[in-house]
Structures are given as C-alpha cells and as structure tokens.
Structure 1
C-alpha cells in the first residue's frame, strides 16, 4: 500500500487556539481524508511546542510549574482538534520523554559529524519571537530598541552558545532546490528561500544558557537546545526515531510539511540542513500557506475576532466552516475569513445548489417510486452529457486535490452539482411522471440523479465528511464511513431496490435579516479620542493652507515597479526597485507587506515623492516614498489611469 506522511507545524502553547491556528490543521485533515479515500496508508501528525523562555516566564507569572502550564495549554489544542473531528494519527508534545531523547540523539549525531561548535553570541534578543537581531535589523522607537517583527522591546544578550554550521549546507541546499523544483511551494515562497541561499546562510546559534526550560545539550547540561531546533525534530521523534525503525522507515521521509509562511525559512532551509547533517532523507515537499485575517482585520483579542472555532462550528456546523475555508481562500495565499461571505456562500452553494438537489431528487423518488431506488433502463443523449461530466469532474477533482488546489477542486465539483440540477430541468421528470408509458425513462432519470448525488457525496467527503455521511444515509448505503474509498467513485454503483430516506434538507437557508452573527467586532479602544484628534487635524488644516509655489516643491513622479521582495525579518516592509524613466532606477522601502504580496506588485505604475531625503529602514536605504490611501485597515496604492511613461511628472 502507498504511504503518505503529512504534518502540521506544532503549535506554540503561549496562546489560545483560534480560527487562524486551526486553518492548517483543518487543511491537514482534508488532505489526510482525501489520501485515505485514494487508498493511501496515511500518518497525520500534529502537536504542541512547549519549551522556551516564553513558557518559563508565563509559568512564573502564574506561580506554577512550567510542565503544569504546558499540560493545561496543550490539552486545549488536543480537545479542540477532537471537537473539530481532526483525524490525526498522533499528537506529539516536545515535553514528551520520547521526543526529548530523540532531540538529544539527533543533536549528538550533528556533534559527531563536526557540524556543531562552541562560540560566543552577542546581539539583540526578542523573547516573544525567540529570535536574535543585528544592529542593522532592529528598529528604534522612543529611544528603545524594538523588534522589527513584533514591535516589542529587545534586550542585549551576550552568552556562550553552541552553533550549527548552517553555512556548510548552503551549496547542498541550492543543489537540492535545483534538482527538486517542487520542494517548496507555492513558487513565490520557493523564490524567497532561493534569495536567502543566494545571499549565503550564516551559522545558527542552537543553545541558550539564560534559562533551563528545554532539552539539555548532550554532555553539557548548562546549555538547553534552542526551541526551534528542538521543535523541528518532532517530525522524526513522532515516528519513534531512532528506536522504532519499522515505523520510521515506513513513513519517513515526510510527503508534506504544512506550515505558515512566517516559518518557511526554518522548514525549507534549517530543517533540511539538519537532516543532511545526520544523513536522513529530506521531506518531499514543504508547503507554506498565507495568513488569515478575520472580517478584513488581523486576528486580535482586542478586536474580538480571535474567535474560538467551536463558536463558529456551533453556529454554522463543522462542514460549513471547512467548505468555506477551502472554497473562498486560495490555499497558499493570504485570505480573509468574512462571516458575511460565509453566509452568502452557505445560502448559494450549500442550500440552493447541493441541499435542494438532494431534497428535490429524493422527494420525486418518493412520489413516483414509493421511495425505492429504481432500475435504470431507457437512456437518452442527455444521460451521456451527465456521465461525461461526472467522469471529467472526477479526473479534474483528483488532479486539483493532488496539487492542493482546493478552491479549483470545489469549483469543478460544483459544476457537476449545478449541471445535475440542470439535468432535472432538461429531463422534466414531472412530465414523465404523468405518462405511464414513460415510466422506464423516468426510472433512468431518477437513478442517474441519485447516482450523481452519490458520487458528489464521495468527492465532497474529505472536505465535508458529515455531509457525505448524511447523503449516504439518505441513499440507504450501508456502513457509510467504510463506503468512502476510491473503488466506489464510479458511475452505476448505486444499488437499486433500496428505500431512500428523505428526512430534513441537509442545509436550511439562513435569513440574513434575522440571523445573529457570531463575530461581533469590538469597538477599538480610544475611538472617541481618535475622532477628536481627527477633528483637530481638520481644524489645523483649515488654518494651514499652502500656496501653489510651496506645493511645487514636492516632486511627484510616476514609477514602474520592476522588482519587489519582502525585507527579511520584517512583517511590514517590502523593498521595491523602481524605474523612473530619465531619472533612472530607484530603490524605496515601504510598509505595505500586510496589504500586498510582492509578486502582485511587479509591473504596477505608482506615484512616489521623488525628492524626499533618503532614509534607512532596517539598514536598507530608501530613496523616496510611495503614495497610498488608507481607511480603517484597508490600504490602496495610488496608481495611474492607463499606461504612462515611468518618470512622468505629476502636475
């Protein structure tokens, strides 16, 4: 039997799980269910990351033992996955004895291979991010040194560390990327990693001595192994490496590491280098997906949108949340979880299209055949159209699912759902039912409708498992859970003679005028104060008018974006290379990374202030400033109406 090993990142237990942290786990579950349906022996892994300074500090603040805190927080993730019907095969914890033994064994092998050495580290350290920063990378605010990633204050740290010779694996990693072009997806995430490799990897500090909540360094217990090195090793420790050779050799290497884009470097560069160091095969694919916002805003407790997924599930149902996430959010890119869009999608796709199809069909079978599935016989050309579409849909659906193109897979499946609805209109069973001589033709139409619904149920099962089971139960399919396998995804396998069960519709329409939404955004603190400030600004502007000569001092130009890339270790900044025509090329740095992906900027014609004094942001020189309009949490670049030559002056 073919095997498939899929993993999520292990979640750091310093925050409550929310819809954003559940997203990857739901995707992993969908992939696992799909692969099982296709006949694979699947091992699906998730878990929690429980070491590091943040956990120790949080435990001290609560005056409890760190292990007690980890048990409590890890349990919340475990319980949530159970309630979301996640079918993981194992839940790993970095405080597990087996895991800690594996970490020490793994690091000792790296030591034996000469890839770890002792040195001294000096630099700015951010506790929340567990990350060191150089002088060039940090930012300053109110005289304080600030982390460019999270905006919190950093501390200067000097300590003896062990270092991993990451630089040694720069060229081997380049070679691996070249020989395995699909190793990292999506493509633009791979390109980000290649740019890091082009600039050259630096050796990595892998131990800490300022705290003791972690895995001790072999033969030097005053050092604890860096939380990220510890965490990455979970992917092999969960398979019993090195003791359980049978389990490990059965599933390793991993077929798919699912991760968020912010930890791509750790999984696509550092983890493969560590595996090279100990001589283990590399994972086949790392897929770095985007971030979720909720109702257009970053997930935040203060805004009230860091919502427990169970609240959403209670309101809409588990399958609805899963369907919406896969249908409306393109996997790999950033996406927004909009409750309004969810309701629209629910009423349109699930009520109007799917639920109505099932209920209409079963009601007609009840009316014309006493609820018994008839035997098909008399065929027509429209039947061939339906069967051709079923076969092409199965092929397209499987192709898209194999490539993790979930939105495309559902789009193709819904073409079949809609055509099956149309098939009812084309065959007009209500007219056939009035003519006894057309009973055999009516039987074929009813059978084809129910057989199509059966196949739709099978294809939808990885994403909407409860809905699939309901469909099978309505069709009197025995042992519906076991029925979900590749062998049954064929036309004509519905058993005639059995009684269907109409029951209630699978989904019932939401009345948007009466429906009470789950996500109610809190008013931002200081809103009234903010309005006063804005009013004051308007008052000031009325009294500070500038003349045309003053305005002419600002040199506004059209610039074409040639290149765009995110600034390393910054969540906000993008570096742009611009063409200003006769003024030549220009580099600027802009804080737009939360609103635009770099690859979507290339080719745009934007407006910049061309005569602004140069400034340095995270050590990178910026020669100019782009113009953008912002309202609330939406930001839009000012662009030109139609093509115009780069360098054109705004007048």
Structure 2
C-alpha cells in the first residue's frame, strides 16, 4: 500500500480579488494532487484563505465594513475560483474557522510550555502589505524619506508591547534542515534561505496590540497573534490538531507545502522553528514556485494589467488554461503568459495535434468499421509506435511529474502525440481502405490503443477533456489509474462485449483570440 500524500497551497490573503498567480498555484497543486491519486495514493489536498491581520483590518475600514464582512465576501471569490478551475481540494480552510482558533492557541501554548515565548517591547520596521518585520539592513530607499521592504512595499516604524519567539535558539537546527537534501526546492531558494540563516537569526515578534483582528493570545489581554503564526498553523488545523485524529496520524507530516517564492522565509524558517518548539514533526518538502508575468511584466493595479483568471478560463476553457500554465512555464522559474500565447500553444498542441488525432481516428473507426472493434495483428511499425507511447505515458510523464517538472513531463507526452500523427501520415489509413481494409483496421486500432494511453496520462492536467476522450473510447471510469496503463486486456474486453464507437465530438476545438485582445 503506497503511503498517503498531503499537499497544501499557501492560503491566499483576500484583501483583493484572486489574480492569475493565485490560479497558477491552485492549478499546480491540483495537478500534483490528481497525479498522486492516479498513482493510487490516498491524497488530502488543502487550500483556503488567510483572513486576519492589519492589512485586512485597514482594508475593511476603508470600505466601511467590519473585517469579518470583508473576509466573508473576499474569501468567497477565492473558493469560487478554485471551484471554477476544477481544483479538487478536500478542505477549503478559513482562518476565521473556530477549529483554527483552537489549533492556533494550542500551538502557542506548546511553544510557551517549551519556554520559547517571552514578553518584551518591539521597535522596528514593519510592512503592512507583507505582514512582515524587516531589519534596517534589508530595506531600500523609496521616494523622499520613504523606506521599502525587499519586496518593494512601504514599511512603517512600529513600537508596541509584543510577545517574542526565540527564533535565534533554532539557528543551528534550521541550518541543518535547510541543508538536508530535498527539504526546500528549487535549489536557488534553498541557497537564499541558508544565506539568510547564516547571517544570524533574531528573535521574532509574534503578537500585536495595535489592532484586534486576529487569534487572541491565550491568557494575554489585548494581544493578537502575529498573522503568520496563525496562517501557518492552518496546515495542521485541517488535520484535526491538537487532537490525535485518524487524519492527523495518517497525513502529517505534510508531503508538500506548495508556495510562492516570496513567502519561502515564513515556510522554511519560521514554520519549522514553531513546529520544533511545539514538538511537532516537520513537513517533508517545501517548493517555492516562480511568478507568472503578464507579457513579461508583474501584474499590478497601478499598471492596470491585473487579470481575472476566471475571465481567462471563460475565454479559453478551464482545461486549456490549465494545460497552458503547466506546459509553458518551467515550474520553479518565473514565466509569462498572454492571450496570444495561450491560443498559439494550445491550438498547436491540444487542438491540431492531440484533439485532431483523437477526432480523426474515432471518426474513421465509426465510419469505416461501423464503429466496431476487432482483434487484430500488429506489425513492427505498430509496435514501434506503441513502444514510443508507452515510454512517454508509463515512464516519461510520471517520472517528471514526480519531480514537479510539469513542462518537461508534458513535452515527453507531446513527443508521443507527434509520433502518432507521423504514424497516421506514414500509414495513410484513408488509402488503405480500398487497397488493404484489414491493414486499415490494424492501423486505426493501434491508434485507438495509443490515444487511450495518451488521454489517461494527461488526466491530471486536463481532467474534464481527458475524461471526455476516455468516455468516447469506452474506458470504464474505474479503469483510469496509472496502474491500468500497462494493461491491454481492456481492448479485448471492449471487443468481446461488442463495443461500438459513436461519432466523436471534438475534445479540443481550435481557439480564437477574443476580439478585445486582438486590437
């Protein structure tokens, strides 16, 4: 029995509506979750929203709402985005949830019992936008007297009574963790964090008294937890912490925290230190992916280039958008997108190559064989094609997806798609209809076998469209796991029961650019 798999995204800060970066992370996590399920693993997948902190409190005030009203409204958009993009989460967690307050207070008490929390006075630079504290040495000059964080956000000088966490105490164990193979990927992020820890860790301010929108610090009137203590705890709340639940025993430690590269410090320094303090096992891996740029530029409201991911999904289709994002960008690096790039890439690969392959093959079987499958003998050319497809679908794509190298895995898959199309051109089944009808049947059915493997392999990326192709092929819903790939008995079973291939519907129609994008 393969071991269970627990994957989380970062929980989104809902002080604005979802943008393409939120969609990118949610889709990537969903591809991983679906891929692991297809391997036969018991998967738990959690995403959600991080709703506390000064930034939310101020935003609510600006809008004349209570923080809870704003949180309810904005969190709804994020959940709708996940649902609209076919993200198969098991729990959409909100930090306003009652069980989350219980879990956050429990981890606080565990850190306090370890002697790692003490009361003092905080004076220093704080970025409301990042919800992060920065050392003077990390700041850059803005306009006039303004100082900016390393992320380019304004910082303000803050003075208040605060609880502190003894982060400095964990410098050596953290260094050891960061240097251990595989904990933090990709390597560039690992090197950054090692350098940060080696430069010396200072104790961390972990409570605030200047606002009250957050989880209350136990037995400390007027203090709410620093938003990151509360936010990070969501990963264990969702498994029932602090109770010893069946889910907790099964899924913790997490297999993967998937996050953006801008919050790696919180997940690979603060979070492991909190867990070490509380006596909780550490997650197995953190992966910091890159940013998605709009025509090479970072999206920002001031540039007016913020994209609603649901509009993209509506224009181009959910599976098409998912495919483009996983195919176009080397996962871990920054990538760029534009409507033109989406149309060009997906027309070339999904519509013209895979979609057309499935459409032509099934149409010819329907038309020239009355839709009936038959037992057939393969030639060397047929077996060569099937070996190419097998290599891509059974080995290449799964191997690369296991490493989160989605674009490389899909490239392996595309090579097999191209090989099928080349085989169609070489064998010319339309000509064989008159000269050698038995050979025509063998060619079409060899393609039938290949298309089944191709559709089965690409399910994590294009779940709805791949399912539509598998439905047209007549593959039962219970026979679509990766373990089913090597099996050839399914074809014999379809022949035996007299399966009829109906006239196919196009799985991946060609896309046009929306009119407003082409001016």
TM-score (norm 1): 0.76
Are 2:486 and 1:490 equivalent residues in the alignment? yes
* Gaps in structure 1 of 5+ consecutive residues: 521-651
Higher strand share: 1
Aligned residue number for residue 279 of structure 2: 279
1:134 deviates by 3.6
- Correspondence for 1:416: 416
Query: Which runs of structure 2 are paired with 1:82-93 in the superposition (5 Å)?
Result: 82-93=83-94
What's 1:451 paired with? 449
Aligned residues between the structures: 512
Counterpart Cα distance in 2 of 1:113 and 1:261: 31
1:593-621 Cα distance to aligned partner (Å, 9 max, x none): xxxxxxxxxxxxxxxxxxxxxxxxxxxxx
Show the counterpart of 2:323: 323
Contact 2:330 2:407 in 1 (8 A): yes
Partners in 2 of 1:253 and 1:327 — Cα distance? 30
Partner residue, 1:613 = none
Equivalent in the alignment of 2:43:
42
CA distance in structure 2 between the aligned counterparts of 1:3 and 1:109, rounded to whole angstroms? 27
For residues 423 and 108 of structure 1, the distance between their equivalents in structure 2, rounded to whole angstroms, comes to: 65
Contact 1:49 1:94 in 2 (8 A): yes
Q: Deviations over 1:608-639 (max 9, x none)?
A: xxxxxxxxxxxxxxxxxxxxxxxxxxxxxxxx
Residue 118 of structure 2: SS of its match in structure 1? strand
Partner of 1:131: 132
CA 1:54 to 1:434, structure 2 compared with 1: closer, same or farther past 3 Å?
Answer: same
Residue 70 of structure 2 is aligned to residue 69 of structure 1: yes
Which residue does 1:461 correspond to in 2?
459
Which of structures 1 and 2 has the bigger CA Rg? Answer: 1
Counterpart residue number, 1:13: 14
Distance in 2, matches of 1:406 and 1:181, equals 21
Q: Name the structure 2 match of 1:305.
A: 305
**C-alpha contact 1:473 1:501 (8 A) present in aligned 2:** no
Question: Is there any run of 5+ residues in structure 2 with no aligned partner, and where?
Answer: none
- Report deviation, 1:54: 1.2
2:511 and 2:69 mapped to 1: Cα distance?
43
Contact 1:138–1:145 under 8 Å retained in 2: no
CA gap of 1:150–1:187, structure 2 versus 1, over 3 A, is: closer
1:269 corresponds in structure 2 to 269
Say if 1:375 and 1:447, in contact at 8 Å, map to a contact too: no
Secondary structure in 2 matching 1:243: coil
Residues in 2 aligned to 1:135 and 1:308: alpha-carbon distance in whole angstroms: 36
Work out the CA distance in 2 between the residues paired with 1:274 and 1:9: 17
Q: 1:11 is paired with a residue of what secondary structure?
A: coil
Task: Quickly say closer, same or farther: Cα 1:71–1:418, change in 2 above 3 A.
Answer: same
User: Could you say if the C-alpha distance between residues 519 and 400 of structure 1 is closer, same or farther in structure 2, counting changes exceeding 3 Å?
Assistant: farther
Is 43-52 or 152-161 further displaced after alignment?
152-161
Match runs of 1:516-555 below 5 Å: 516-518=515-517
Secondary structure of the structure 2 residue equivalent to 1:156 = strand
| Number of the residue aligned with 1:526 | none
Residues 141 and 295 of structure 1: is their aligned pair in 2 closer, same or farther, counting only changes over 3 Å? closer
Shift of 1:466: 1.3
Shift in Å, 1:121: 1.3
Change in Cα spacing, 1:443 to 1:176, as seen in structure 2 (3 Å) is same
* 1:160 corresponds to 2:158: no
Q: Compare the two structures and name the one with the higher helix fraction.
A: 2
Query: How many Å separate the matches in 2 of 1:84 and 1:428?
Result: 39
**Helix, strand or coil for the counterpart of 2:434?**
coil
Question: How far did 1:150 drift?
Answer: 5.3
Q: For 1:517 and 1:344, locate their aligned partners in 2 and report how far apart those are by CA, in whole Å.
A: 17
Shift of the 141–358 alpha-carbon distance from structure 1 to 2, 3 Å rule, reads: closer
CA distance in 1, matches of 2:305, 2:511: 22
Secondary structure at the aligned position of 1:144 is classed as coil
Aligned to 1:69, the other structure's residue is in SS state helix
Return closer, same or farther for 1:187/1:142 CA change in 2, 3 Å cut-off.
closer
Alpha-carbon separation, structure 2, partners of 1:284 and 1:150: 27
Partner of 2:82: 81
CA separation of 1:46/1:153 partners in 2, compared to 1, >3 Å: closer, same or farther? closer
1:476 CA drift (Å): 2.6
Partner of 1:472: 470
CA distance in 1, matches of 2:367, 2:463: 29
Shift of 1:245: 2.1
C-alpha offsets along residues 80-107 of structure 1, whole Å, 9 cap, x if unaligned? 1111111000011111110011101101
On the 8 A contact 1:359/1:505 being kept in 2, the answer is: yes
Q: Which moved more, 1:149-158 or 1:416-425?
A: 149-158
Partner of 2:506: 505
The within-5 A match list for 1:152-191 is: 153-178=154-179, 180-191=180-191
Q: Is 2:378 the partner of 1:379?
A: yes
Secondary structure of residue in 2 paired with 1:160: strand
Q: Is contact 2:127-2:156 (8 Å) kept?
A: yes
Give the drift of 1:66.
1.2
Alpha carbons 2:51, 2:71 under 8 Å: kept? yes
Whole-angstrom CA distance in 2 between matches of 1:503 and 1:112: 65
- Per-residue CA deviation, residues 300-343 of structure 1 (Å, 9 max, x unaligned), is 23444312111111111001101100111111000101221111
Provide the residue aligned with 1:25 in structure 2: 26
Q: Provide closer, same or farther for how the CA distance between residues 506 and 145 of structure 1 changes in structure 2, counting only shifts above 3 A.
A: same
Aligned alpha-carbon RMSD (Å): 1.8
1:141, CA displacement in angstroms?
4.3
